[in-house]
């Protein structure tokens, strides 16, 4: 009975994480756990039906899907406990051709962090987002660099380079905390808490292919 309850709780947490992170249905169609030692072609990966995977093994993978380009993202991560809460650390992002499972590219997120540490998040989603960030019609990716005390969450961002058929690191997008994408108006929005009583919202647009700050709104609480 306890295992059934734990399994249902984990399932509800996964659904809540999907909704809370605002994934686009166009770019995300798969979300599954698998054992790291059993990684193989996307279609051959064994299904995991027990919540004991997280309890008995620290390493696991989370799989996401993108239709443009037609690829699968496998995030290899491990879970550890910190202050009685699970923390998840991404050690590798593997991009596979969704048609045949062949590896297109491997990204080691810690190569891009300022401190050289692991990318850290508190949910099994690993803070991973798949969406078009530069409005070229192709799905890009970003992952939370770490989860700070405040709301200014830094992300590491990669955009799809259709000429080379790979994801390339975007240092400009990666410098924008709490990044949100307004697809309808083609605007990048960033909310920043400057202090306890001051917040700033920054608005960016691509002008001539360069991401440019076009508006800044500061609010001060009385």
- What digits encode the pLDDT tens for the residues 24-33? 222 232 333 3
User: Considering only CA atoms, which of 64, 213, 219, 51 is closest in space to residue 130?
Assistant: 64
Pair of tokens at residue 90: 């991404």
- Answer with the residue of higher pLDDT: 136 or 1: 136
Pair of tokens at residue 156: 């590491």
Q: What pLDDT sits at residue 83? A: 67
Q: Where are the beta strands (DSSP E) in 26-127?
A: 33-34, 59-66, 71-82, 85-97, 103-107, 119-121
C-alpha dist (Å) from residue 127 to 77, 83, 123: 12, 20, 7
- Dihedral of alpha carbons 136, 139, 143, 144, sign: positive
Q: Tell me: the pLDDT tens digits for 25-71?
A: 222 323 333 333 323 223 333 333 323 333 334 677 888 888 899 99
Pair of tokens at residue 120: 């850290």
Residue found under tokens 């699970």: 86
């Amino acid at each position: 009975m306890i295992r059934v309850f734990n399994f249902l709780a984990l399932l509800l947490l996964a659904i809540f994480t999907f909704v809370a992170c605002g994934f686009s249905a166009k770019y995300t169609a798969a979300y599954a756990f698998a054992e790291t030692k059993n990684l193989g072609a996307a279609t051959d990966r064994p299904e995991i039906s027990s919540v004991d995977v997280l309890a008995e093994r620290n390493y696991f993978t989370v799989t996401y899907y993108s239709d443009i380009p037609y690829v699968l993202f496998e995030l290899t991560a491990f879970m550890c406990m910190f202050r009685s809460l699970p923390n998840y650390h991404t050690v590798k992002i593997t991009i596979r051709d969704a048609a045949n499972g062949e590896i297109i590219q491997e990204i080691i997120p810690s190569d891009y962090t300022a401190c050289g540490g692991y990318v850290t998040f508190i949910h099994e989603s690993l803070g991973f987002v798949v969406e078009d960030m530069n409005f070229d019609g192709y799905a890009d990716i970003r992952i939370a660099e770490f989860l700070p005390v405040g709301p200014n969450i830094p992300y590491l961002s990669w955009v799809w380079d259709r000429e080379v058929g790979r994801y390339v690191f975007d240092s400009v997008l990666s410098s924008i905390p709490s990044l949100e994408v307004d697809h309808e108006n083609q605007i990048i929005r960033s909310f920043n808490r400057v202090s306890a009583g001051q917040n700033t919202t920054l608005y960016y647009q691509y002008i001539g292919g360069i991401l440019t700050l076009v508006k800044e709104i500061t609010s001060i609480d009385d």
